[in-house]
Chain A
Amino acid sequence: MSTRGLAYTGGVGFALWRRSLLELARVRGGLLPTTVAPLIFLLGSLGQFGRLDQLVGFPTTSYIAWLVPLSCLQAAGFAGGATGANLARDIEAGWFDRLLSSPAPRPLLILGPVMAAMTRCIVPVTVIFIAGLLLGPGLTGGAYGLLMLYLAAISFSIVAALWGITLALRAKSQQVGPLIQNGVFIAVFLSTAYTPLPFLKGWLAVAAPYNPVTYVLQMGRQATVSGIEPSWAHTWPGLLALAAMMLFFGLLALRQLRRIDL
């Protein structure tokens, strides 16, 4: 691609990213649902299951340390999913048809919302992380752990955005919104959400090791769980899982985008 072509591509991507973010400035409390829900889950799960940290062999003595990365991932997933729901609204309103008839390269039409998802997830993730720190776990993983938590959360928001975009392009209706968010919810909770692998029983003990989110959670938990020390061994499975999910849902979204052309 020529320099001019690259500049054009960058300009279009930037404009679509800005448009997605403008909504946050225009709609008051637009970030509230993606922040409040995980925060309530964090506090509620802590209140309900907080004594689980007393189990022999639990990797931390503070249950909130176990929960904070889960809630951060949940928030990032919801923020990513919300961009899919917004795209469905754009399709219903006819705005997306105008974009399709423009000379902009097709992949850019999904790149903008994905970039917006990455940006908008930072606010809820930070709010939840700070709330978690105030409640006590401490940053046991230091700067490396913190970096891994944010990398895991931002990358997961991309995965959720691609999932949301795929569904929005397929359904072309805002009614797909709950399905997008429920998908994120299911993916996050069918993992080591509440307890580590050795404590899982029954079907979840079989399913969780095959769920890539389990490894993304492990990557993020390097920040707060003292029993998961920051190391490459706890990082690469998460990175691999994220790359695989991004590739899978990215290809699905592009396939769906091609179909919408026909």
Chain B
Amino acid sequence: MSSFALERDLATQGRVITALAKRALRVQLRRAQFLLPSFLLPLLLLAVVASGTSAAQQLPGFPNTGSYVGFVVSGTIMQGTLLAGLMAGIAIAGDIEGGFFDRLLSAPIHRVSIVLGRVLGTALIGMVQAILFVSVALLMGADFKGGVIGVVLTVLLAALSASAAAGLGATIALRTGSLSLMQNLFPFVFVLLFTAPAFFPRALLNPVLETISVVNPLSYVVEGMRAALFDSAALGSVWGGFAAGIGSVVFTCALAVWAMRSRLRS
């Protein structure tokens, strides 16, 4: 392929990915059944956890971050992005059952673009979630020492987390093609969330969970958000968060592409 043809192909695929991402965004933001779990539920849990477990700040070893809501908002962002990823999987399964996916397959576009379009759309939702949740935390009295740069880094980490979750959701949806199975996966999102130090520092987790959290890449992403928001290396590593986030995105998107190829073969 000549360099001109390659450039033209890349531009076409870029437009396809953008168009599919826009569609994914529209579907998620228009339908209440998608909006409710990915926006309202995390906000509710933030409000409950911030008010219901704030006495935890009295525990020895709990980091002093000023307001408790500021500490737990990273967990809320993580929850939101995981649920957005699940919603992406549900939407793909819906497309498969509804026949839209077959129409996409018959179009002259790369298979990878179909996955990347959905992932990009979910990444944008993750960014919107992060901005919303951080704003709510600020209204509830949080004080982020990391300032605007810290918030920007957190929003980028949220995009990575949402992309990784969308990749995972897409993998399961493409492997199973079942809408009802995807809807039943809702509780399992919380396995990923609870095996990371989402609401408590890692040192104060249950010993079993503390051990598991070491192998959960989301642990490093959530701690990276905290480190960015509070500009504190004691709370985690921002770059460690980015490394874990990028690694997860590459891994889950590769899985999704593999799942799509398996689906096409069968």
Contact = CB atoms under 8 A, between A and B. Distances in A.
Nearest to A176: B33
Interface residues of B, number: 38
B55 A199 contact: yes
A189 B206 contact: no
Nearest to A29: B184
Interface string B1-29: 00000000000000000000000000000
A201 B54 contact: yes
Contacts, number: 104
Interface string A150-162: 0000000000000
Nearest to A39: B187
Interface string B55-92: 11011000000000000000000000000000000000
Contacts of B200: 48-49, 51
B35 to A, nearest CB: 10
Contacts of B51: 200-205
Contacts of A48: 194, 198-200, 205-206, 209
B20 to A, nearest CB: 24
Contacts of A185: 41, 44
B47 to A, nearest CB: 7
Interface in B201-244: 204-206, 208-209
Contacts of B50: 202
A44 B190 contact: yes
A33 B194 contact: no
Interface string A35-65: 0110011011111111110111000000000
Given A47-B205, A194-B49, A203-B47, A55 B190 contact: no
A15 interface: no
A49 B195 CA distance: 12
B105 interface: no
B194 A44 contact: yes
A85 B204 CA distance: 39
Contacts of A50: 205-206
Nearest to B189: A40
B209 A193 contact: no
A179 interface: yes
Given A40-B188, A186-B44, A194-B53, A47 B58 contact: no
Contacts of B48: 189-190, 193-194, 204
B36 A182 contact: yes
A1 interface: no
B206 A46 contact: yes
Nearest to B68: A201
Dominant SS at the A interface? helix
Given A52-B55, A182-B41, A194-B52, A47 B186 contact: no
B45 interface: yes
**Max chain A Cβ within 10 angstroms of own Cβ: one of B36, B140, B200:** B200
Contacts of A33: 184, 186-187
A32 B184 contact: yes
Interface centre among A47, A182, A189 (most CB of B within 10 A): A47
Contacts of A203: 47, 51
Interface in A166-201: 175, 178-179, 182, 185-186, 189-190, 192-195, 199-201
A113 to B, nearest CB: 21
A176 B59 CA distance: 41
Nearest to B34: A178
Contacts of A204: 47-48, 51-52
A201 B209 CA distance: 27
Nearest to A175: B33
A47 B37 CA distance: 23
24 contacts: A40-B187, A44-B193, A44-B194, A46-B206, A47-B194, A47-B208, A48-B198, A49-B200, A51-B56, A51-B59, A51-B204, A52-B53, A179-B32, A186-B44, A192-B52, A193-B52, A194-B49, A195-B55, A199-B55, A200-B52, A201-B55, A202-B54, A204-B47, A204-B52
Interface of B: 32-33, 36-37, 40-41, 44-45, 47-56, 58-59, 140, 184, 186-188, 190-191, 193-195, 198-200, 204-206, 208-209
Given A36-B187, A52-B55, A202-B50, 6 more contacts: A44-B195, A46-B206, A185-B41, A194-B49, A202-B54, A203-B51
Interface of A: 32-33, 36-37, 40-41, 43-52, 54-56, 175, 178-179, 182, 185-186, 189-190, 192-195, 199-205
